[in-house]
Chains A and B, each alone.
Chain A
Amino acid sequence: MTDQSQPDAVVAEEPKPAPASGKKGLVVALVLVGTLALALGALSAYLWTVHSQYVAQNEELRAEAGDLGADVAASRAKAEELQTQVEATLAQLDEAKETINGLANSEAQAGDDRQALIDVADGLQECADLRQDMIDHLNEAYKWTASSLRAREADITTYCKKVTRAYKEIVDD
Protein backbone atom coordinates (compact mmCIF):
# COMPACT_ATOMS: atom_id res chain seq x y z
CA MET A 1 0.00 0.00 0.00
CA THR A 2 1.30 2.91 -1.12
CA ASP A 3 1.38 5.37 1.31
CA GLN A 4 -0.07 8.25 0.01
CA SER A 5 2.33 10.63 0.79
CA GLN A 6 1.04 13.28 2.67
CA PRO A 7 1.05 16.38 0.77
CA ASP A 8 3.61 18.68 1.86
CA ALA A 9 2.37 20.96 4.25
CA VAL A 10 1.30 24.06 2.53
CA VAL A 11 3.68 26.71 3.36
CA ALA A 12 1.74 29.72 3.87
CA GLU A 13 3.10 32.71 1.99
CA GLU A 14 4.37 35.47 3.99
CA PRO A 15 1.76 38.00 4.15
CA LYS A 16 2.66 40.86 1.75
CA PRO A 17 2.91 44.13 3.34
CA ALA A 18 -0.29 46.01 2.93
CA PRO A 19 -0.11 48.55 -0.06
CA ALA A 20 1.13 51.79 1.19
CA SER A 21 -1.52 53.78 -0.68
CA GLY A 22 -1.59 56.43 1.98
CA LYS A 23 2.15 56.89 1.75
CA LYS A 24 2.14 57.09 -2.03
CA GLY A 25 -0.65 59.57 -1.97
CA LEU A 26 1.29 61.63 0.43
CA VAL A 27 4.33 61.59 -1.85
CA VAL A 28 2.27 62.56 -4.87
CA ALA A 29 0.59 65.26 -2.90
CA LEU A 30 3.92 66.54 -1.64
CA VAL A 31 5.42 66.58 -5.13
CA LEU A 32 2.37 68.34 -6.51
CA VAL A 33 2.25 70.81 -3.69
CA GLY A 34 5.97 71.41 -4.04
CA THR A 35 5.69 71.92 -7.75
CA LEU A 36 2.68 74.14 -7.31
CA ALA A 37 4.49 76.10 -4.65
CA LEU A 38 7.48 76.51 -6.94
CA ALA A 39 5.24 77.56 -9.81
CA LEU A 40 3.34 80.00 -7.65
CA GLY A 41 6.62 81.31 -6.31
CA ALA A 42 7.98 81.83 -9.81
CA LEU A 43 4.70 83.42 -10.88
CA SER A 44 4.68 85.72 -7.89
CA ALA A 45 8.30 86.69 -8.52
CA TYR A 46 7.52 87.41 -12.16
CA LEU A 47 4.42 89.40 -11.33
CA TRP A 48 6.30 91.33 -8.67
CA THR A 49 9.08 92.15 -11.10
CA VAL A 50 6.67 93.22 -13.85
CA HIS A 51 4.62 95.18 -11.36
CA SER A 52 7.72 96.97 -10.15
CA GLN A 53 8.74 97.77 -13.73
CA TYR A 54 5.28 99.13 -14.52
CA VAL A 55 5.22 101.19 -11.37
CA ALA A 56 8.67 102.60 -12.12
CA GLN A 57 7.78 103.33 -15.71
CA ASN A 58 4.45 104.81 -14.71
CA GLU A 59 6.23 107.20 -12.40
CA GLU A 60 8.69 108.16 -15.12
CA LEU A 61 5.89 108.63 -17.64
CA ARG A 62 3.89 110.73 -15.19
CA ALA A 63 6.92 112.88 -14.61
CA GLU A 64 7.50 113.11 -18.36
CA ALA A 65 3.81 113.87 -18.96
CA GLY A 66 3.99 116.57 -16.32
CA ASP A 67 7.03 118.13 -18.02
CA LEU A 68 5.42 117.88 -21.44
CA GLY A 69 2.18 119.34 -20.10
CA ALA A 70 4.13 122.27 -18.72
CA ASP A 71 5.88 122.63 -22.09
CA VAL A 72 2.52 122.50 -23.91
CA ALA A 73 1.08 125.14 -21.61
CA ALA A 74 4.12 127.35 -22.13
CA SER A 75 4.02 126.73 -25.88
CA ARG A 76 0.31 127.57 -26.03
CA ALA A 77 0.88 130.77 -24.14
CA LYS A 78 3.80 131.59 -26.47
CA ALA A 79 1.70 130.67 -29.53
CA GLU A 80 -1.09 132.99 -28.39
CA GLU A 81 1.43 135.75 -27.81
CA LEU A 82 3.01 135.12 -31.21
CA GLN A 83 -0.42 135.01 -32.87
CA THR A 84 -1.14 138.44 -31.43
CA GLN A 85 2.23 139.64 -32.66
CA VAL A 86 1.61 138.10 -36.11
CA GLU A 87 -1.74 139.86 -36.35
CA ALA A 88 -0.13 143.12 -35.34
CA THR A 89 2.70 142.54 -37.82
CA LEU A 90 0.24 141.72 -40.59
CA ALA A 91 -1.63 144.93 -39.87
CA GLN A 92 1.66 146.83 -39.97
CA LEU A 93 2.59 144.98 -43.16
CA ASP A 94 -0.70 146.00 -44.76
CA GLU A 95 -0.03 149.56 -43.69
CA ALA A 96 3.56 149.38 -44.98
CA LYS A 97 2.32 147.85 -48.23
CA GLU A 98 -0.17 150.67 -48.62
CA THR A 99 2.59 153.16 -47.85
CA ILE A 100 4.94 151.58 -50.40
CA ASN A 101 2.13 151.59 -52.96
CA GLY A 102 1.36 155.21 -52.15
CA LEU A 103 5.01 156.27 -52.35
CA ALA A 104 5.51 154.36 -55.60
CA ASN A 105 2.42 156.08 -56.97
CA SER A 106 3.68 159.49 -55.80
CA GLU A 107 7.01 158.77 -57.46
CA ALA A 108 5.26 157.75 -60.68
CA GLN A 109 3.00 160.83 -60.63
CA ALA A 110 6.01 163.03 -59.94
CA GLY A 111 7.74 161.41 -62.90
CA ASP A 112 4.69 162.10 -65.07
CA ASP A 113 4.57 165.72 -63.85
CA ARG A 114 8.31 166.15 -64.37
CA GLN A 115 8.00 164.84 -67.91
CA ALA A 116 4.98 167.05 -68.58
CA LEU A 117 6.92 170.06 -67.25
CA ILE A 118 9.84 169.18 -69.48
CA ASP A 119 7.41 169.13 -72.42
CA VAL A 120 5.98 172.51 -71.36
CA ALA A 121 9.48 173.95 -70.89
CA ASP A 122 10.37 172.71 -74.37
CA GLY A 123 7.14 174.27 -75.63
CA LEU A 124 7.86 177.60 -73.93
CA GLN A 125 11.37 177.56 -75.37
CA GLU A 126 9.90 176.88 -78.78
CA CYS A 127 7.42 179.71 -78.19
CA ALA A 128 10.24 182.07 -77.27
CA ASP A 129 12.21 181.03 -80.36
CA LEU A 130 9.17 181.56 -82.58
CA ARG A 131 8.53 185.00 -81.08
CA GLN A 132 12.16 185.94 -81.62
CA ASP A 133 11.77 184.76 -85.17
CA MET A 134 8.65 186.94 -85.42
CA ILE A 135 10.57 189.94 -84.11
CA ASP A 136 13.26 189.31 -86.69
CA HIS A 137 10.59 189.22 -89.35
CA LEU A 138 9.04 192.45 -88.03
CA ASN A 139 12.46 194.12 -88.08
CA GLU A 140 12.51 193.36 -91.75
CA ALA A 141 8.80 193.85 -92.26
CA TYR A 142 9.32 195.45 -95.60
CA LYS A 143 10.28 192.00 -96.88
CA TRP A 144 6.92 190.46 -96.00
CA THR A 145 3.33 191.17 -96.74
CA ALA A 146 1.22 192.40 -93.86
CA SER A 147 -1.19 189.47 -94.22
CA SER A 148 1.60 186.88 -94.04
CA LEU A 149 3.01 188.55 -90.96
CA ARG A 150 -0.42 188.56 -89.32
CA ALA A 151 -0.94 184.90 -90.21
CA ARG A 152 2.48 184.05 -88.81
CA GLU A 153 1.79 185.97 -85.63
CA ALA A 154 -1.61 184.25 -85.24
CA ASP A 155 0.02 180.79 -85.59
CA ILE A 156 2.66 181.64 -83.01
CA THR A 157 0.09 183.07 -80.62
CA THR A 158 -2.09 179.96 -80.95
CA TYR A 159 0.88 177.73 -80.28
CA CYS A 160 2.05 179.76 -77.28
CA LYS A 161 -1.46 179.84 -75.80
CA LYS A 162 -1.64 176.08 -76.12
CA VAL A 163 1.65 175.71 -74.27
CA THR A 164 0.56 178.17 -71.60
CA ARG A 165 -2.72 176.28 -71.16
CA ALA A 166 -0.79 173.02 -70.72
CA TYR A 167 1.41 174.69 -68.12
CA LYS A 168 -1.63 176.00 -66.21
CA GLU A 169 -3.22 172.54 -66.27
CA ILE A 170 -0.12 171.07 -64.65
CA VAL A 171 0.04 173.81 -62.03
CA ASP A 172 -3.70 173.51 -61.27
CA ASP A 173 -3.36 169.72 -60.77
Chain B
Amino acid sequence: MSKARPIAFAGAAVVLATALAGCGILPAAPSPEPTDFVPSVSASPGEENGAISNDGFSAAQRMTVRVRNIGCGFLATGSGFALDEHTLVTNRHVVENAKDIEVSTYDGRIVQATAASATTLADIAIVTTEQSLGKVYAARATEDPVEGDVVTVVGYPNGGKLTTTSGVVLGETTDPLEAAAGPVLASTAQIEPGSSGSGVFNASGEVVGVIYAKNKAEQSFIVPISTLNALLDEPSLLIPETEGCKS
Protein backbone atom coordinates (compact mmCIF):
# COMPACT_ATOMS: atom_id res chain seq x y z
CA MET B 1 0.00 0.00 0.00
CA SER B 2 1.38 3.26 -0.92
CA LYS B 3 1.69 6.08 1.60
CA ALA B 4 -0.47 8.32 -0.57
CA ARG B 5 -3.75 6.72 0.38
CA PRO B 6 -3.49 7.21 4.12
CA ILE B 7 -2.53 10.78 3.55
CA ALA B 8 -5.44 11.27 1.23
CA PHE B 9 -7.83 9.61 3.66
CA ALA B 10 -6.45 11.65 6.51
CA GLY B 11 -6.83 14.76 4.47
CA ALA B 12 -10.38 13.83 3.54
CA ALA B 13 -11.14 13.06 7.14
CA VAL B 14 -9.81 16.44 8.16
CA VAL B 15 -11.95 18.09 5.50
CA LEU B 16 -15.04 16.16 6.58
CA ALA B 17 -14.38 16.86 10.24
CA THR B 18 -13.97 20.54 9.46
CA ALA B 19 -17.13 20.48 7.41
CA LEU B 20 -19.04 18.71 10.18
CA ALA B 21 -17.69 21.12 12.77
CA GLY B 22 -18.83 23.93 10.54
CA CYS B 23 -22.37 22.56 10.59
CA GLY B 24 -22.69 23.97 14.06
CA ILE B 25 -22.74 27.47 12.71
CA LEU B 26 -25.03 26.69 9.84
CA PRO B 27 -28.59 28.01 10.11
CA ALA B 28 -31.12 25.42 11.21
CA ALA B 29 -34.23 24.80 9.19
CA PRO B 30 -37.14 27.07 10.23
CA SER B 31 -39.29 25.75 13.03
CA PRO B 32 -42.84 24.82 12.08
CA GLU B 33 -45.25 27.74 11.81
CA PRO B 34 -47.70 28.13 14.67
CA THR B 35 -51.23 27.27 13.69
CA ASP B 36 -52.78 30.11 15.69
CA PHE B 37 -51.29 33.55 16.23
CA VAL B 38 -54.13 34.90 18.38
CA PRO B 39 -53.61 34.49 22.13
CA SER B 40 -56.48 33.04 24.12
CA VAL B 41 -58.52 35.51 26.20
CA SER B 42 -57.66 35.19 29.87
CA ALA B 43 -60.60 37.05 31.39
CA SER B 44 -64.07 38.09 30.41
CA PRO B 45 -64.69 41.85 30.49
CA GLY B 46 -67.69 41.12 32.71
CA GLU B 47 -65.44 39.67 35.39
CA GLU B 48 -63.39 42.82 35.92
CA ASN B 49 -63.84 45.06 38.94
CA GLY B 50 -65.14 47.91 36.85
CA ALA B 51 -67.88 45.79 35.33
CA ILE B 52 -71.24 47.50 35.49
CA SER B 53 -74.37 45.90 36.85
CA ASN B 54 -77.32 45.28 34.58
CA ASP B 55 -79.14 48.39 35.80
CA GLY B 56 -76.29 50.72 36.74
CA PHE B 57 -76.84 50.47 40.49
CA SER B 58 -74.02 49.29 42.76
CA ALA B 59 -74.46 46.30 45.05
CA ALA B 60 -74.61 48.63 48.08
CA GLN B 61 -77.40 50.62 46.45
CA ARG B 62 -79.36 47.51 45.45
CA MET B 63 -79.34 46.07 48.96
CA THR B 64 -80.47 49.37 50.51
CA VAL B 65 -84.15 49.78 51.35
CA ARG B 66 -86.42 52.59 52.49
CA VAL B 67 -88.43 51.77 55.61
CA ARG B 68 -91.86 53.34 56.19
CA ASN B 69 -93.16 53.17 59.73
CA ILE B 70 -96.94 53.60 59.68
CA GLY B 71 -97.84 54.48 63.23
CA CYS B 72 -101.01 55.71 64.81
CA GLY B 73 -101.32 59.27 63.70
CA PHE B 74 -97.76 59.51 62.50
CA LEU B 75 -95.63 58.40 59.60
CA ALA B 76 -91.85 58.02 59.80
CA THR B 77 -89.25 56.90 57.32
CA GLY B 78 -85.80 55.44 57.66
CA SER B 79 -83.30 53.34 55.77
CA GLY B 80 -82.01 49.79 56.02
CA PHE B 81 -80.13 47.13 54.13
CA ALA B 82 -80.81 43.50 53.22
CA LEU B 83 -79.09 40.76 55.18
CA ASP B 84 -80.72 38.08 53.06
CA GLU B 85 -83.71 37.73 50.76
CA HIS B 86 -86.26 38.24 53.55
CA THR B 87 -84.33 39.99 56.34
CA LEU B 88 -83.12 43.55 56.72
CA VAL B 89 -81.30 45.63 59.32
CA THR B 90 -82.44 49.09 60.39
CA ASN B 91 -82.59 51.13 63.59
CA ARG B 92 -84.84 50.37 66.50
CA HIS B 93 -86.11 53.96 66.55
CA VAL B 94 -87.14 53.63 62.88
CA VAL B 95 -89.61 50.81 63.60
CA GLU B 96 -90.69 51.79 67.11
CA ASN B 97 -94.44 52.08 67.78
CA ALA B 98 -95.26 50.86 64.29
CA LYS B 99 -98.76 49.78 63.40
CA ASP B 100 -97.42 48.60 60.08
CA ILE B 101 -94.04 48.58 58.34
CA GLU B 102 -93.57 48.89 54.59
CA VAL B 103 -90.26 48.54 52.80
CA SER B 104 -89.41 50.06 49.41
CA THR B 105 -86.58 48.61 47.34
CA TYR B 106 -84.21 50.68 45.21
CA ASP B 107 -86.29 49.90 42.10
CA GLY B 108 -89.57 50.99 43.65
CA ARG B 109 -91.07 47.67 44.77
CA ILE B 110 -93.12 47.81 47.97
CA VAL B 111 -92.55 44.91 50.33
CA GLN B 112 -94.64 44.32 53.43
CA ALA B 113 -92.81 43.57 56.69
CA THR B 114 -94.02 40.56 58.63
CA ALA B 115 -92.18 41.09 61.92
CA ALA B 116 -89.63 43.28 63.63
CA SER B 117 -87.41 42.65 66.59
CA ALA B 118 -85.06 45.01 68.36
CA THR B 119 -82.57 45.19 71.20
CA THR B 120 -81.96 47.65 73.98
CA LEU B 121 -78.19 47.18 73.71
CA ALA B 122 -77.93 49.23 70.55
CA ASP B 123 -80.18 51.12 68.15
CA ILE B 124 -80.61 48.08 65.96
CA ALA B 125 -83.72 46.27 64.68
CA ILE B 126 -84.14 43.26 62.44
CA VAL B 127 -87.16 43.23 60.13
CA THR B 128 -88.41 40.22 58.19
CA THR B 129 -90.49 40.35 55.04
CA GLU B 130 -92.72 37.95 53.18
CA GLN B 131 -91.75 38.99 49.67
CA SER B 132 -88.20 39.03 48.42
CA LEU B 133 -86.05 42.09 49.03
CA GLY B 134 -83.90 41.22 46.01
CA LYS B 135 -80.89 39.10 45.28
CA VAL B 136 -78.11 41.31 46.64
CA TYR B 137 -77.30 41.09 50.33
CA ALA B 138 -74.82 42.63 52.73
CA ALA B 139 -71.40 41.10 53.25
CA ARG B 140 -70.59 41.87 56.85
CA ALA B 141 -67.01 42.82 57.74
CA THR B 142 -65.41 41.02 60.65
CA GLU B 143 -63.60 44.04 62.04
CA ASP B 144 -64.72 47.56 62.90
CA PRO B 145 -63.35 50.46 60.87
CA VAL B 146 -60.66 52.53 62.52
CA GLU B 147 -59.90 56.24 62.66
CA GLY B 148 -59.12 57.61 59.20
CA ASP B 149 -60.93 54.90 57.25
CA VAL B 150 -63.06 56.20 54.39
CA VAL B 151 -66.63 54.91 54.55
CA THR B 152 -69.66 55.23 52.29
CA VAL B 153 -73.21 55.62 53.54
CA VAL B 154 -76.13 54.60 51.32
CA GLY B 155 -79.63 55.55 52.36
CA TYR B 156 -82.73 57.70 51.92
CA PRO B 157 -82.06 61.07 53.64
CA ASN B 158 -85.27 62.96 54.39
CA GLY B 159 -87.21 60.02 52.98
CA GLY B 160 -86.21 61.16 49.49
CA LYS B 161 -84.09 59.67 46.74
CA LEU B 162 -81.55 56.90 47.22
CA THR B 163 -78.33 58.77 48.03
CA THR B 164 -74.70 57.79 48.44
CA THR B 165 -72.36 59.88 50.55
CA SER B 166 -68.84 59.40 51.89
CA GLY B 167 -66.96 60.37 55.01
CA VAL B 168 -64.06 59.50 57.26
CA VAL B 169 -64.23 57.59 60.53
CA LEU B 170 -63.26 59.90 63.41
CA GLY B 171 -62.86 57.10 65.92
CA GLU B 172 -64.62 55.40 68.79
CA THR B 173 -66.80 57.40 71.17
CA THR B 174 -69.59 56.94 73.67
CA ASP B 175 -73.17 57.02 72.50
CA PRO B 176 -74.30 60.69 72.52
CA LEU B 177 -77.86 59.46 73.17
CA GLU B 178 -76.59 57.37 76.09
CA ALA B 179 -78.65 54.42 74.94
CA ALA B 180 -76.07 52.02 73.53
CA ALA B 181 -74.33 49.60 75.85
CA GLY B 182 -71.07 49.58 73.94
CA PRO B 183 -68.94 52.16 72.16
CA VAL B 184 -70.05 53.65 68.85
CA LEU B 185 -68.16 55.28 66.01
CA ALA B 186 -68.26 58.92 64.89
CA SER B 187 -67.77 59.90 61.25
CA THR B 188 -67.83 62.94 58.98
CA ALA B 189 -70.38 61.38 56.58
CA GLN B 190 -73.24 63.84 56.09
CA ILE B 191 -76.62 62.35 56.98
CA GLU B 192 -80.14 63.61 57.51
CA PRO B 193 -83.27 62.37 59.26
CA GLY B 194 -84.35 59.38 57.19
CA SER B 195 -80.76 58.16 56.89
CA SER B 196 -81.21 56.22 60.13
CA GLY B 197 -80.54 52.55 59.50
CA SER B 198 -78.33 53.19 56.48
CA GLY B 199 -75.56 50.71 55.90
CA VAL B 200 -71.99 51.99 56.24
CA PHE B 201 -69.66 50.37 53.69
CA ASN B 202 -65.90 50.12 53.51
CA ALA B 203 -63.83 50.33 50.32
CA SER B 204 -64.37 46.61 49.69
CA GLY B 205 -68.16 47.02 49.79
CA GLU B 206 -68.51 45.24 53.13
CA VAL B 207 -70.88 46.59 55.77
CA VAL B 208 -68.87 48.00 58.68
CA GLY B 209 -71.68 49.64 60.61
CA VAL B 210 -75.18 51.11 60.77
CA ILE B 211 -75.96 54.85 60.88
CA TYR B 212 -78.24 55.82 63.78
CA ALA B 213 -77.75 59.46 64.78
CA LYS B 214 -76.10 62.80 64.09
CA ASN B 215 -75.14 65.80 66.19
CA LYS B 216 -75.22 69.57 65.67
CA ALA B 217 -71.61 69.48 64.44
CA GLU B 218 -72.87 67.39 61.51
CA GLN B 219 -71.03 64.32 62.73
CA SER B 220 -72.81 61.03 62.15
CA PHE B 221 -72.80 58.14 64.59
CA ILE B 222 -72.46 54.51 63.67
CA VAL B 223 -73.31 51.26 65.43
CA PRO B 224 -70.12 49.27 64.68
CA ILE B 225 -70.32 45.99 62.79
CA SER B 226 -68.93 44.09 65.78
CA THR B 227 -72.08 45.00 67.73
CA LEU B 228 -74.35 43.93 64.85
CA ASN B 229 -72.43 40.67 64.42
CA ALA B 230 -72.72 39.95 68.15
CA LEU B 231 -76.48 40.58 68.06
CA LEU B 232 -76.98 38.36 65.04
CA ASP B 233 -74.94 35.62 66.70
CA GLU B 234 -77.15 35.83 69.80
CA PRO B 235 -80.78 36.04 68.61
CA SER B 236 -82.09 35.94 72.18
CA LEU B 237 -80.92 39.55 72.53
CA LEU B 238 -83.48 40.59 69.92
CA ILE B 239 -86.96 41.06 71.32
CA PRO B 240 -90.03 41.15 69.03
CA GLU B 241 -91.48 44.64 68.69
CA THR B 242 -95.10 44.96 69.78
CA GLU B 243 -97.60 46.81 67.64
CA GLY B 244 -98.09 50.45 68.51
CA CYS B 245 -101.44 52.29 68.79
CA LYS B 246 -102.22 51.30 72.35
CA SER B 247 -105.02 53.76 72.91
Hey, which bits of chain A sit against chain B, CB under 8 A?
23-25, 27-28, 30-32, 34-36, 39, 42-43, 46-47, 49-50, 53-54, 57, 60-61, 64, 68, 90, 93-94, 96-97, 100-105, 107-109, 111-112, 115-116, 119, 123
- How many A-B pairs have beta carbons closer than 8 Å: the answer is 112
Cβ of B30 < 8 Å from any Cβ of A?
yes
A93-B55, A112-B68 provided; 9 other pairs, C-beta below 8 A? A28-B11, A35-B11, A39-B15, A47-B26, A93-B56, A100-B57, A108-B68, A108-B77, A115-B75
| Chain B window 107-138, contacts with chain A (Cβ cutoff 8 Å), 1 for yes, 0 for no | 11010000000000000000000000000000
- The CA-CA distance from A57 to B8 in the complex, in Å, is 42
> Chain B interface residue count: which class?
35 or more
Q: Is the CB of A104 within 8 A of B12?
A: no
**A51 CA to B19 CA in the complex, in Å?**
19
Known: A68-B37, A111-B102. A28 touches B4 (CB 8 A): yes
The interface bits of chain B over 8-37 (1 if a CB of A lies within 8 angstroms of the residue's CB, else 0) are 110110011001001000111110010001
Q: Please pick, from A36, A61, A107, the residue contacting B15 in the complex, using a CB distance under 8 A.
A: A36
B70 at the interface (CB under 8 A from A): yes
Give the chain A neighbours of B110 by CB distance below 8 A: 107, 111
Contacts of A111 in B (CB 8 A): 68, 102, 104, 110
B contacts, CB < 8 Å to A: 2-5, 7-9, 11-12, 15-16, 19, 22, 26-30, 33, 37-38, 52, 55-57, 66, 68, 70, 73, 75, 77, 102, 104-108, 110, 156, 159-162
